[in-house]
Structure 1
Amino acid sequence: MDLRARGDSLGKAGRRAAGALVALAVLVGCGGHPKGVMTPVALTAPTQTSQVDMLVATTRQPSGNPATLFSGERNAALSLTDVAVSIPPDSQRKPGTVQWPRRLPPNPETDFAVTRVHELASRDEARAWFRKHSVDGNILLFVHGFNNTYEDSVFRLAQIVHDSGADATPMLFTWPSRARVFDYNYDKESTNYSRTALEDALRSLANAPDVNEVTILAHSMGTWLTMESLRQMGIRDGGIAPKIKNVILASPDIDLDVFAKQFVELGDKRPKFTIFVSQDDRALAVSSFISGDVSRLGAIDPTAEPYRTQLERAGITAIDLTKVQSEDSLHHGKFAESPQIVQLIGQRIVNGQTLTDSEVTLGDSITAVVAGTAKNVGTVAAATISAPVKVLEQPTLPRKKRAHLDETLESGAHAGATN
């Protein structure tokens, strides 16, 4: 073996991976918003604002600062916090957007603003919180993605709940993300660190007598955490808790082969799965590149074979958002930023309604591949069980596509170096 050649090859791969992250950083942009918005502000009466009450569970380390509450570092203990977020009148914001304050303290009439923070010291307090805020015993649990601070995830869930009109009690599980583009690997390991904590939280919800149904909405890297926690539950308990009815994976940043194995290992009785995909998702393109050119679940074309047939056999509904317009330069948050899609989540999927192609009437920009025609809906074919990695076997990335991606990353890296 030519060690020098191997070293050159590894060095080139490292530079390309670094270029990929620089390109992602350039796409994210250099703008921002004020940090440290978790300090509660008082509402002045009368007001036209709305309020979202949520329970926040986290494996983050307490920051010691009331303006941030929690950092991106890891903590062995699970912390529970009651948080209320005020949302300005609809006349002051576009649906699908988080109205970050331009300066602190925020103005509730024009900005998202935290109005209450209360640490819950015990599970008994958490149970009392759920009894007080119960919406027919239905829970919407949100698991955020890569590059999110504590406050990012709090405001995003508040926006989703408000804009979707979901009839469910909001709960957030926020894991230790450092919220820095170049800490992708740290964030990924933080999801692994948090698997058992999320599993335990889901089991507690499933065992609570006041809880009837749980819907999980996970985004990006949070879909990996969700699948791993459900997989652990399936293996440990011999199946998924029956109260976990729906799992929604938005822009799932999961290796296709790995997802296939995770899905099979959930057991025979699985929740109903819905995935939101988009072939123009730039964040997933970069993730695929730095992961060895392995396709991500969130970037497939669900109308193409073999995906369409395999999704039907697995009982998975896939909704293609490729043509949906978004102000997000990465095209990675369409599920929350499109008013039609977020309403579809809140008013149809969370309520357990079965979708069919004809019922997804959101215009020509939406393509739905809806499971339900196969006789073995909700199960996986015997051939799949014997060879689970073939459930969603992905083609090799075409050379032309790879070359184009390389050019994009090279130009991004150059732009980042000169920015």
Structure 2
Amino acid sequence: MDKSAGPFRCIVIAALLAAALSGCAGRPEGVLVPAAAGAAETKGISKVDVLVATTRRPSETPGVLFSGERDKTPSVTEISVSIPPDSVRKIGEVQWPKKIVADPTKEFATLSVTPLSPQRASEWLRGNLPKSRRVMVFVHGFNNRYDDAVYRFAQIVHDSGTDVAPVLFTWPSRGSIFAYNYDKESTNYSRDALEDMLSRLSKDSQVSEVTIMAHSMGSWLTVEALRQMAIRDGRVAPKITNVILASPDLDVDVFTNQFSALGPKHPKFTLFVSRDDRALNLSRRISGNIDRLGQVDPTVEPYRTEFEKAGITVLDLTALKGNDPLNHGKFASSPDVVKLIGNRLIAGQEVTDSDVGLGERLGAVALGTAQTVGSAASVAVSTPISIFDPRTRRNYAEQVDRFGRAIGNTAESAIVP
């Protein structure tokens, strides 16, 4: 066997194992078809309205709305999502519809989809700002379809109870484990659009504060857009006060340079890391074996000193055991963590290991001179990434079932450092 095939074989084996464990096979496509009128009138059902900006190309498939391909002109859409009663769902999870026409009493459902012009998008924003006049922008990670991003962010907004106007920025991800490089280039493709959106939000006189939360590869896009803004305008817009990077898929050396380019008047940064993040371990292996920011140990040098100098707060959740086999989305898989940390951040309270007992309960470590995250933040993040796109899942379902038992320790060694 060609030895050069070894690393690729390890990645494929790991992907197959993760797909077998994820339990995501069978999810229908096209769930963004609006449900019948009155579908969300049942007692206990909640509604979340999200403003969605995207650089994806529109799809001709009903209920898909936007594909994983790139479009020259950004689009904006208002999407209303219903969430089933808390009595029938677990906090931190998306109850995906089993059929195209969802059952709102048990599953997430789409209530309305409304394309918006730039002027109407501004009107939506002003009509949906809470008393705090804060906006939260969410940027998803690698391997996310449009509907993945919409439903996940709706869950984040609902479960955290965050007092913000929710704005989602979704970039052209093909939703496939085999499209890593395409997805990475799509983040580069989308930098200008994200920077422009953030600038518009910051210049709106009705907006008081903007918090950005990015997951995985979306962290690269977010920091790059802020870096461009700082270079173009001399600093990051003052209204952008908080940046939260969850499981950031970022080369630590590159992040150092990006952060430096933001200048002294930069937003507060908070990182959520986990040293046993297997998805980031795979990313490290295919990216020159350089540590990814989301899997560093913040208690060792040089990281500890550098984080403290920069005033970056780091929460290390390595000791937290979640239901995610890749350990890439621990926050969402632990309802207690979502509510505990989310409530404190929303209230504008400082988050450290001592005052909330994280050191004992979760094994988290808080570092940084500021020791705070900010008032508009939420810490729920995307749950385990869906390893295979639907077409690949159909092609490989039987192979995974047969092969899963055989790979055993071999696959485990491929994804554990």
Question: Structure 2-normalised TM-score?
Answer: 0.84
CA distance in 2 between counterparts of 1:345 and 1:257 reads 29
CA distance in 2 between counterparts of 1:328 and 1:18 reads 22
Tell me the SS of whatever aligns to 2:94. Answer: coil
Q: What is the deviation of 1:210?
A: 1.1
Aligned to 2:121: 126
Gaps of 5+ in 2: 372-406
Contact 2:78 2:116 in 1 (8 A): yes
Question: Any residues of structure 2 matched to 1:67-78 within 5 Å, and which?
Answer: 67-78=63-74
Contact 2:49 2:78 in 1 (8 A): yes
Gap change, CA 1:226 and 1:12, over 3 Å in 2: farther
Aligned to 1:335: 331
State the one-letter code of the partner of 2:156. Answer: I
Q: Does residue 310 of the first structure (1) align with residue 302 of the second (2)?
A: no
Gap change, CA 1:18 and 1:278, over 3 Å in 2: same
CA distance in 2 between counterparts of 1:193 and 1:12 reads 35
CA distance in 2 between counterparts of 1:219 and 1:345 reads 17
Q: Percent identity?
A: 53
Contact 1:303 1:369 in 2 (8 A): no
Q: What is the deviation of 1:410?
A: 9.2
Contact 2:48 2:158 in 1 (8 A): yes
Q: Does residue 60 of the first structure (1) align with residue 56 of the second (2)?
A: yes
Q: What is the deviation of 1:365?
A: 1.5
Gap change, CA 1:18 and 1:258, over 3 Å in 2: farther
Aligned to 1:107: 103
Q: What is the deviation of 1:351?
A: 5.0
Q: Does residue 361 of the first structure (1) align with residue 322 of the second (2)?
A: no
Question: Structure 1-normalised TM-score?
Answer: 0.84
Contact 2:54 2:75 in 1 (8 A): yes
Aligned to 2:180: 184
Q: Does residue 198 of the first structure (1) align with residue 194 of the second (2)?
A: yes
State the one-letter code of the partner of 1:304. Answer: V
Q: What is the deviation of 1:219?
A: 0.3
1:364-404 per-position Cα deviation (integer Å, ceiling 9, x unaligned): 32312231279xxxxxxxxxxxxxxxxxxxxxxxxxxxxxx
CA distance in 1 between counterparts of 2:413 and 2:251 reads 28
Q: What is the deviation of 1:361?
A: 2.5
Q: What is the deviation of 1:283?
A: 0.2
Aligned pair partner of 1:39 in 33, 39, 45: 33
Aligned to 1:378: none
CA distance in 2 between counterparts of 1:239 and 1:409 reads 51
Aligned pair partner of 2:224 in 217, 222, 228: 228
Q: What is the deviation of 1:305?
A: 2.2
CA distance in 2 between counterparts of 1:129 and 1:192 reads 28
State the one-letter code of the partner of 1:318. Answer: V
Contact 1:360 1:368 in 2 (8 A): no
Contact 1:323 1:365 in 2 (8 A): yes
Q: What is the deviation of 1:25?
A: 3.9
Q: Does residue 172 of the first structure (1) align with residue 168 of the second (2)?
A: yes
Tell me the SS of whatever aligns to 1:357. Answer: coil
Q: What is the deviation of 1:105?
A: 0.9
Aligned to 2:265: 269
Q: What is the deviation of 1:285?
A: 0.6
| Structure of larger gyration radius | 1
CA distance in 2 between counterparts of 1:166 and 1:414 reads 40
Gap change, CA 1:413 and 1:301, over 3 Å in 2: closer
Aligned to 1:80: 76
Tell me the SS of whatever aligns to 2:328. Answer: coil
CA distance in 1 between counterparts of 2:111 and 2:255 reads 39
Contact 1:52 1:86 in 2 (8 A): yes
Q: What is the deviation of 1:345?
A: 5.3
Aligned pair partner of 1:26 in 5, 17, 20: 17
